[in-house]
Amino acid sequence: MTEQEAITNEESEEVRIGAFICECGVNIAGAVDCNAVADYISTLPNVVTSVVNKYTCSDAGQAEIKNAIKDLNLNRVLVASCTPKTHEPIFRACVEEAGLNQYLFEFVNIREHCSWIHMWEKEDATKKAKELVRMGVARAALLEPLQSSEVPVTDAALVIGAGVTGMQAAMDIADMGHKVYLVEQGPSIGGKMAQLDKTFPTNDCSICILGPKMVEVARNENIEIMSYSEIDEVDGYVGNFKVKVKHKPRYLNIDECTGCGLCTEKCPVEVPYVEFDEGIGTRKAIYTPFPQAVPLRALVDKSICIDCGACIKACERGAIDMDQQETFSELDVGVIVVSAGFDVYDPEPNHDFGFGLYDNVITTMEFERLINASGPTMGKVVRPSDVKPPKRIGFVQCVGSRDKNSNIYCSSFCCMASLKNAQLLKEKYPDTEVYIMYMDMRTPFRMYEEFYNRARDMGIRFIRGRPAEVTENEDHNIIARIEDTLTNEIVNLELDLMVLSVGAVSPESTETVRQILKVSRAADGFMMEAHPKLKPVDTTLDGIFIGGMTQGPKDIPYSISQGSACAARATRFLAQGKALTEGITAKVDEDICVACGVCVPMCPFQALSIEDDKLKILTALCKGCGTCMAACPTGALEQSHFKNEQLLAQVKNVFAYGEV
């Protein structure tokens, strides 16, 4: 083909390429005859000058480029030296200083990709270098100037989920002086941590440390808590998200309610309190979530309310409004932090270890409520079948974790949780026999292994093996048949109560949020971070961050760290007030595009959509990978800086056939 005619740009300005061949001391010159390369290149179309430098990247070399741009009126610069991975930014800055758009710079690698790998083949290496530069010249002639665009950032953040992670993120962002909307689907902030009794490895009371934090969040002027609310729609991109929040009706005027509890007293309807007490305790149809709830306001469970009107009569402030409807708020935010929490694995459907078949098999969360001093039993551990204190208690680890039949991942906190609960039992009821049936005890991080050792010292029995068979005897005792793999003995353990250490799973409600935000999901069902090491709380969508259990199972300290990390990452945008979008992006030629939509599902960043029979590209979302344009049948989509004509010019000039 003969594309390489003197190609001119839109203003029909003549293309003038300056080529700079770097010797890199002997690094390149040792294997490549740089002068021969320069001589050859000078014969190519559009090449105005071709120069050999000792070190093109040196100040002298860069000065030579800048002078040549000015003196020879160059409008493209090509450097043939080392790898763009390290030196492209340097030369781009160099040409920009000389007044040339940085994207009019072309880099050819003749060191890593030529001289260093063909050290003893000078003739062939020189030929190859000529052809590499020839490709570069062909491409350089077709380069176009590009601009990264800046988008303004709305100075407000949305935090989805007010568990311990979300609260931390909200407070950190708020303390840096930015408005935060903290949206929580439950009636109170606090999350799962509020349900726990003690926390490992220091065994301090969970609500005692969390409670003040919740109050602090509520008192923070920059934080607006939206409890009992859900994300309905999210539109837009970094800096400019439009969020629609749905407020579910509490059937009660939250400004009038004082949380006094008079209404609850009068309410005649009582049901198991599943949401907070794991169904062990009860609540009324009108209730306040728990004593330390924030906001401490009542709400009506309309599904069980019998409309007797007792509460309305009881409320001195007339706060109750049974006709309340759901309402919506529209928020403009610049960044979004997702800390939507987790659910515990549900062993019921598969009757894991007899759960659901035998009364005295319970889960960790149920146990947490049982042993919690403010729980339904006031901290008295009893077993469900006969409400008697159990004397032999066993914990089964890895229920719903590390199991290809449920979830293959490790839920990370359950070993420590069981160690903690076992210790609490031993402290509270020293004569209780406590067993932990495990595959491996996983105790990383500071003081965790010590915590395990303490448990051993306290006489807690560890059996390496999990029940192969669980049955119940006439006393409703649990018989667990286990192979202790350390002793190779089969043990038939009779237990009064068996606690399943259930792992974490990503809740359905989080999946809804994920789909609204269009964040990607990992194979384990949790949301996917942008990079597992380098960007653990970023997502691939600019301006959206994930922390805590949303990203995967973790314990409280790790969750709080991630909350702070999310805050720090998110606040960068808020503090700068602007976000830069990628210069190399997809562009559509509307004259050619037929809006067939083949490209839309290709984009991993949801930057493409068809609206009104037209393809719309949200450039702010585009990362410039090029997946979509390769799929485009018409060629209407082009990736700037890697346009088809630019790539094809390289392809066509790969081999010169006898010319060099």
State how far the Cα of 42 lies from the Cα of 134, in Å rounded to an integer: 10
Residue 1 or 26: the one with the smaller Cβ distance to another protein is: 1
For every residue of 86-152, which 3-state class applies, written as one string?
HHHHHHHHHHHHCCCCHHHEEEEECHHHHHCCCCCCHHHHHHHHHHHHHHHHHHHCCCCCCCCCEEE
> Pseudo-torsion of CA 309, 314, 320, 323, nearest 10°?
10
Residue from 21, 100, 125, 621 binding another protein (CB under 8 A): 125
CA distances from 571 to 169, 340, 360, 438, 451 (A): 10, 19, 49, 42, 36
Residue from 16, 66, 111, 213 binding another protein (CB under 8 A): 111
For position 89 contacting another protein by CB under 8 A, the verdict is no
State how far the Cα of 431 lies from the Cα of 106, in Å rounded to an integer: 78
Going by C-alpha positions, the residue among 351, 463, 360 that lies closest to residue 399 is 351
Q: How far apart are the first and last CA of the chain?
A: 18
Binding residues among 607-626 for another protein as defined by CB under 8 A: 610, 613, 623-626
Residue from 112, 275, 343, 346 binding another protein (CB under 8 A): 112
For position 647 contacting another protein by CB under 8 A, the verdict is yes
Binding residues among 20-59 for another protein as defined by CB under 8 A: 43-45
Contact stretch for another protein (CB under 8 A) within 215-223, 317-325, 429-437, 629-637: 629-637
Residue 13 or 589: the one with the smaller Cβ distance to another protein is: 589
Number of residues that bind another protein (CB under 8 A): 78
Strand partners, 18: 49, 77
Contact stretch for another protein (CB under 8 A) within 167-175, 492-500, 555-563, 652-660: 652-660
For position 509 contacting another protein by CB under 8 A, the verdict is no
Residue 371 or 636: the one with the smaller Cβ distance to another protein is: 636
Binding residues among 281-300 for another protein as defined by CB under 8 A: none
Residue 373 or 596: the one with the smaller Cβ distance to another protein is: 596
- Minimum CB separation of residue 103 from another protein in Å reads 13
State how far the Cα of 138 lies from the Cα of 132, in Å rounded to an integer: 10
Binding residues among 136-165 for another protein as defined by CB under 8 A: 138
Residue 458 or 584: the one with the smaller Cβ distance to another protein is: 584
- Minimum CB separation of residue 223 from another protein in Å reads 33
- Minimum CB separation of residue 141 from another protein in Å reads 11
State how far the Cα of 229 lies from the Cα of 329, in Å rounded to an integer: 10
Residue from 39, 116, 321, 618 binding another protein (CB under 8 A): 116
State how far the Cα of 201 lies from the Cα of 193, in Å rounded to an integer: 15
- Minimum CB separation of residue 522 from another protein in Å reads 10
Residue 577 or 635: the one with the smaller Cβ distance to another protein is: 635
Whether the CB-CB separation of 549 and 412 falls below 8 Å is answered with no
Whether the CB-CB separation of 163 and 99 falls below 8 Å is answered with no
CA distances from 192 to 375, 415, 555 (A): 14, 17, 11
For position 135 contacting another protein by CB under 8 A, the verdict is yes
For position 12 contacting another protein by CB under 8 A, the verdict is no
Residue from 14, 97, 124, 326 binding another protein (CB under 8 A): 124
- Minimum CB separation of residue 625 from another protein in Å reads 4
Binding residues among 405-424 for another protein as defined by CB under 8 A: none
State how far the Cα of 275 lies from the Cα of 286, in Å rounded to an integer: 14
Alpha carbon 585 to its chain's center: 23
Residue from 60, 72, 119, 468 binding another protein (CB under 8 A): 119
**Angle 364-475-386 (CA atoms, 0-180°, nearest 5)?**
55
- Minimum CB separation of residue 19 from another protein in Å reads 16
For position 382 contacting another protein by CB under 8 A, the verdict is no
State how far the Cα of 415 lies from the Cα of 448, in Å rounded to an integer: 10
**Angle 612-618-619 (CA atoms, 0-180°, nearest 5)?**
140
Binding residues among 543-602 for another protein as defined by CB under 8 A: 584, 589, 591-598, 601-602
